[in-house]
Chain A
Amino acid sequence: MTAVVEIDGLLKTYRRRGRRHRALAGFTMTVEQGQVHGFLGPNGSGKTTTLRALLGLIQADGGAMRMFGRLVPGALPDVVGRVGAVVENPRFFPGFTGRDTLRLLADAGGVPPGRVDAKLELVGLADRARDRVRTYSLGMRQRLAVASALLKDPELVILDEPANGLDPAGIREMRQLMRDLADGGTTVLFSSHLLAEVQQVCDAVTIIAGGRRVAAGPVEDVLASHTEDAVRVRLAAGELAPAAQVLVRAGATVRQEGGHLLVGNVQRPAWVTYVLAEHGLFLEELVPAKVDLESVFLALTGAGPDGPPARAAGGPADRRAGEPEPGSGDRDGDAADRARAEVDA
């Protein structure tokens, strides 16, 4: 496997209203060729900052970055022909049509103009291609941005929050598109603060929080290394409280969730059965707690729309995420909830 993107010890400090704000504190990431690589982190964790630095839009304060083995931003003009990228909310000149926008980019990059319509078709924008960008919804601008990133038939596609503004069907299409790209040999690096959309499509993930990498690797490895030794236990309603007491006294961690107990720090499920039976408590159901990327993510980043950070099992969970941007946290949280609900549905 060869690395397409290598980022090492990236540092970036913004000056904001006279105060210094550290957005990246030695961030490190490697993206292997042919992967769909999810770049995950809560709002304000430094994803966009990383991608901006990688693409030469801002200057990092330290660290090294390579694309296709070449040091960037220095070699950016040489490698940019192999990279298609969209950073932050895609913004286009509002007075041009989607088609004109892409044609001008194609012109500037020496891409055959015939490819424009094919890419518009690919992102499902063909029938609005002759309307002005001014009239596009956020989701449509997002699609246009993806089309522009694909225009060069790049070896590496970088998408910043590509699911933003998309409806559930759009998110599914976007996932399929990324999968198809990777199957065709293109490396896809995309950032997201929504987990559900990622787990199904990613080969590997890098999780960022507070400007630092907190986990990285193939999805299964990340899941495995953060699997809690937890089981879900169901008992008769009146026995939940005494059972919890018993288990805690025996050294487990217990959290009540509806009609269940989530029991952690358990080596073998049989141990739970044994301890409870000793006290005359008999369980009705016992299943291993399912671990998904979402809970790992919430544990690692210590930030989520669902309340206080969960305790991580073994992960560096004490690290707080970067402060959420004032006023935006709620909105993003809602969006995250909604999107997750949509995807689950």
Chain B
Amino acid sequence: MRLLRAEVRRFAKRRLIRWTVGVFVLLLGLVLAGASYQSRPVTAAALATAQARAGTQLAEARAAHAERVAPCVDAVRQGRPPPPEFTADCDAAAAPSPDWYPVAEFLPYQLSFRDEVDGYLLLYGALLALVALLVGASFIGAEWSSGALANLLVWRPQRGRVLLTKLVVAVGAILALGTATAALWLGGVYAVARFDGTVQGTTAGLLQSAGLGAVRAVGLAALVGAFAFALASIGRHTAAAFGAVIGLALVSEVGMAFAGSVLRLRYPGAFQLSTYGQAWVTRSVTLDPVVCAMGATCRADARDITWLHALGVFGAGTVLALLVAFVVLRRRAIT
């Protein structure tokens, strides 16, 4: 308990962590402020103006079209064949129609909660994962590289316990930060939509799904934080975690794409972490066999990668990294 309290205080005192969290919250606020600034609710007056402008443009386009096809129309009316640059029906197909000028395009931008909440969650999830990477790695990494951890281990010669406490604090902090900011974020997006845009079509089901999306984003951040923590502890340096993550991304995206084509894998996407990241956010990704893309006969054997698969992959990777980190620490000579 005492160790836990000390680690919580240590965590809160770290300047890099404070800055990271500060910048993160600031960034979220800026995005919301920008959305609020850009979005305009559609008033009756705005709708009328937009309808009028759409009508005007349609009329102008029709007039221009009529003028252009006039020689053809005249010729046909007089029983002559249409000039060669026109079709038999005098380019009737090219006549402007109202759906070329949808009223929506003449309206100012309006944030629609229903249509855009997923995109906002994706942005939030990516930022939070980045914060988790930085926080998880630097909390333990800087302790190793500065030698402060060796000091603490002289003070408390229980390696597993010390590392576990730090892990709990780092992951707990990410969860706390995520829970607080995710709620604020969804509330903020909703508020912007409510006052500067539209919440039309926001059903209970949609809200629930958005909430679950936020939970998944926070959960992923916790996994990323724990993974980065493990890597930084194994490598005894914050940078070790960043290096390993970048290396992993390269192998997964570039390396597997290449290996997939060499080995003629049916579903190379199934070996790429980005697929699982996408599945995690969007709940499911459908992979078509490679042969489909090449135009061969395609049977209906597409494969689905769901967020549960993603949980399996990310969870297993994190657990493995943590196991290695603890085993390595147990045997490590601290010099």
Binding site for B on A (CB under 8 A): 52, 55-59, 73, 76-77, 80, 85-88, 90-96, 100-101, 103-105, 107-110, 148
How far is A244 from B41 in the complex, measured between Cα atoms in Å? 111
Contact of A57 among B5, B148, B153 (CB under 8 A): B153
Minimal beta-carbon separation of B12 from chain A (angstroms): 11
Is A80 a contact partner of B155 (Cβ separation < 8 A)?
yes
Q: List 8 A-B contacts (CB under 8 A).
A: A57-B333, A77-B156, A77-B158, A92-B148, A95-B15, A104-B9, A104-B13, A107-B9
Selected from B9, B142, B153, B333, the residue in CB contact (under 8 A) with A93 is B142
Contacts of A94 in B (CB 8 A): 146
Q: A57-B334, A108-B2 are in contact. Are A73 and B157 (CB under 8 A)?
A: yes
Known: A86-B154, A107-B6. 10 other contacts (CB 8 A): A52-B335, A57-B150, A58-B334, A80-B156, A92-B151, A94-B146, A95-B14, A95-B16, A107-B9, A109-B156
Instruction: Tell yes or no: B81 within 8 A of A by CB.
Output: no
A-contact bits for B153-176, CB 8 A (1 contact / 0 none):
111111000000000000000000
8 Å CB contact of B146 from A77, A93, A105: A93
Please judge, given known A-B contacts A56-B157, A104-B9, whether A91 and B333 are in contact too, CB under 8 Å. Answer: no
Chain B residue with the shortest CB-CB distance to A86: B154
- Which bracket fits the contact residues of B? 20 to 34
Structural contact, A57 and B154, CB atoms closer than 8 A: yes
Which 4 A-B pairs rank lowest in CB-CB distance, beginning with the nearest? A91-B147, A107-B6, A108-B6, A93-B148
In the assembled complex, the CB of B322 is this many whole angstroms from the nearest CB of chain A, namely 22
- B152 on interface, CB distance cutoff 8 Å: yes
Asked whether B320 is an interface residue with its Cβ less than 8 Å from the other chain, the reply is: no
- The answer, yes or no, to whether B143 is at the interface (CB within 8 Å) is yes
A55 to B156, CA, bound (A): 10
Whether a CB of chain A sits under 8 angstroms from the CB of B180 is no
Asked whether, in the complex, the Cβ of A104 is within 8 Å of the Cβ of B10, the reply is: yes
**A96 CB contacts on chain B under 8 angstroms:** 13
Whole-angstrom CA separation of A219 from B298 in the bound complex? 91
Would A80 and B9 count as touching, CB distance under 8 A? no
Give every chain A residue within 8 A of B150 (Cβ-Cβ): 57, 87, 91
Complex CA gap A52/B146 in Å reads 18
CA distance A108 to B155 in the complex (A): 8
Q: Select which of A55, A95, A104, A110 is within 8 A of B154 by beta carbon.
A: A55
Q: How far is the CA of A88 from the CA of B6 in the complex (A)?
A: 24
**How many contacts between A and B, using CB within 8 angstroms?**
78
Residues of A with C-beta under 8 A to B333:
52, 57-59
Q: In the complex, A100→B333 CA distance in Å?
A: 27
Contacts of B319 in A (CB 8 A): none
Q: Assess A93 versus B6: contact at CB under 8 Å? Given A77-B158, A85-B154.
A: no
**Nearest B-chain residue to A73, judged by Cβ:** B157
Residues of B within 8 A of A (CB): 2-3, 5-7, 9-10, 13-16, 142-143, 146-148, 150-158, 331, 333-335
Q: Which of A94, A108, A109, A110 has the most CB of B within 10 A?
A: A108
Q: Verify A80–B335 contact, CB threshold 8 A.
A: no
A109: which B residues are within 8 A, CB to CB?
A: 2, 155-156
B238 CB to nearest A CB, Å: 13
Q: Which residue of A lies closest to B147 (CB)?
A: A91
Bound-complex Cα distance A90 to B155 (A): 13
Most buried by A among B9, B15, B154, B158: B154
Report the minimal beta-carbon distance from B332 to chain A, rounded to whole angstroms: 9
CB B173 to nearest CB in A, in angstroms, measures 16
With contacts A77-B157, A80-B157, A104-B10 taken as known, whether A90 is within 8 angstroms of B151 at the C-beta atoms is: yes
A59 to B331 alpha-carbon distance, docked (Å): 8
CB pair A91 B148 closer than 8 Å: yes
A93 to B17 Cα, complex, angstroms: 14
In the complex the two chains form, what is the Cα distance from A105 to B146 in whole Å?
A: 15
**Closest residue on chain B to residue A72 by CB atoms:** B157
Nearest residue, chain A, Cβ from B5: A107
How far in angstroms is the closest Cβ of chain A from B18? 11
In the complex the two chains form, is A105's CB within 8 Å of B152's CB?
yes
Q: Nearest residue in B to A96 (C-beta to C-beta)?
A: B13
Contacts of B335 in A (CB 8 A): 52, 57-58, 88
Write out the residue numbers on chain A whose beta carbons fall within 8 Å of the beta carbon of B15: 95
Chain B: CB-nearest residue to A134 = B146
A58-B333, A93-B146 are contacts. A87–B154 as well, Cβ < 8 Å? yes
Query: CA of A80 to CA of B154 in the docked complex: distance in angstroms?
Result: 8
Question: Cα distance A148–B150 when bound, in Å?
Answer: 13
Query: Do A148 and B2 have beta carbons less than 8 Å apart?
Result: no
B residues less than 8 Å from A90 (CB atoms): 151
Of the candidates B3, B14, B151, B331, the one whose C-beta lies within 8 Å of that of A91 is B151
